[in-house]
Amino acid sequence: MILPVFLYGQAVLRQKAEDVAKDYPEIKKLVADMYDTMYHADGVGLAAPQIGLSISLLVIDANVLGDDFPECVGFKRTMINPDIIERSEEEILLEEGCLSIPGISEKVSRAKVIKVKYLDEDFVEHEETIDGFAARVVQHECEHLEGKVFIDNISAIRRQLNKGKINSILKGTVKCSYRAKAVGK
């Protein structure tokens, strides 16, 4: 089922997500719905807060980026309770966007390589070293679980330059090609 994507300004996007317990009801259906929602919106990642659930769950399918970023070929993950346990000192500055902040993309500096521990949809534990753009996607989605969004990482002047677009998101007048839920809607 395709769910609405919660847009910037929704309180759930600023909450620290709760860990997911093994007995969470219908977790596999939720994961499937998140993938459906992400694909419908042409996204490469989606965190549960973006669909209104303050739980530590995210889905990623970065395969579509494989032509430009070979490390993304076949990179499809469901991550429950992810924890980035290491970050490289080397960072890379690249442009990012977000389904919850339509119409805005900005350059963000992120660690080139990360090590992350997480559970998959069967609650099997994984520890994985990820680099390049795939690492960027994981870091971006994990930030949602901490109550942060990518524009928190840009300079005050860049935020000011995007103020009109941010205000249209907050007012609910931004146009999306996917189901979205703006503040007060």
- For the chain, how are helix, strand and coil distributed in percent, rounded to 5? 35, 30, 40
The candidate with the shortest Cα–Cα distance to 42, out of 179, 142, 183, is 179
Q: Which residues are catalytic?
A: 141
* Signed CA dihedral, 145, 146, 148, 149: sign only: negative
Q: How are strands ordered across the β-sheet holding 45-47?
A: 45-47, 57-61, 76-87, 113-119, 125-131
* Signed CA dihedral, 42, 45, 49, 52: sign only: positive
Residue 116's DSSP bridge partners are 84, 128
HSE-up (13 A, CA, CB side) for residue 158: 12
